[in-house]
Amino acid sequence: MGWRQSSEEEEMTEHVKTKIKQEDNKVVVSRFQDIQSILDFNKEKQINGHNRKSDFRHVCHIPFVELEKWLHESGLRLGSQEFAEYIKKKIISGEYSKFIVHGY
């Protein structure tokens, strides 16, 4: 099964900004993303409910900058089973409930 980006997701990714600066003889890279469109998308999908005819379900929609942060925190590889479990723990912790579309 492959990953595909929908036109809605393409629209949401354009809000990622990168800022690079030098600070104390170090290069500091900061990534920012306007996540309001993602939160609105998730809320709309929560309201509309799950298509019960499908074998698949949209569990969550996570901003790219948050995924990058979690990759850095965990030291795991994107696409690995270990990283999938790490994401699941983050999402079900309650702290990131606004990223949930239909849940686990």
Nearest-5° Cα angle at 11, 7 to 17: 145
Place of tokens 């990953």: 3
- The DSSP symbol for 25 reads T
Question: What is the model's pTM?
Answer: 0.63
pLDDT for 63-102, tens place per residue? 888 999 999 999 999 999 999 999 999 988 989 888 888 7
Task: Give me the amino acid identity at 4.
Answer: R
- Beta pairing partners, 29: 20
Q: Is 99 in contact with 91 (CB distance < 8 Å)?
A: yes
Q: CB under 8 Å to 50, separation ≥6 — which residues?
A: 57, 58, 102
Q: How many CB atoms lie within 10 A of CB 15?
A: 16
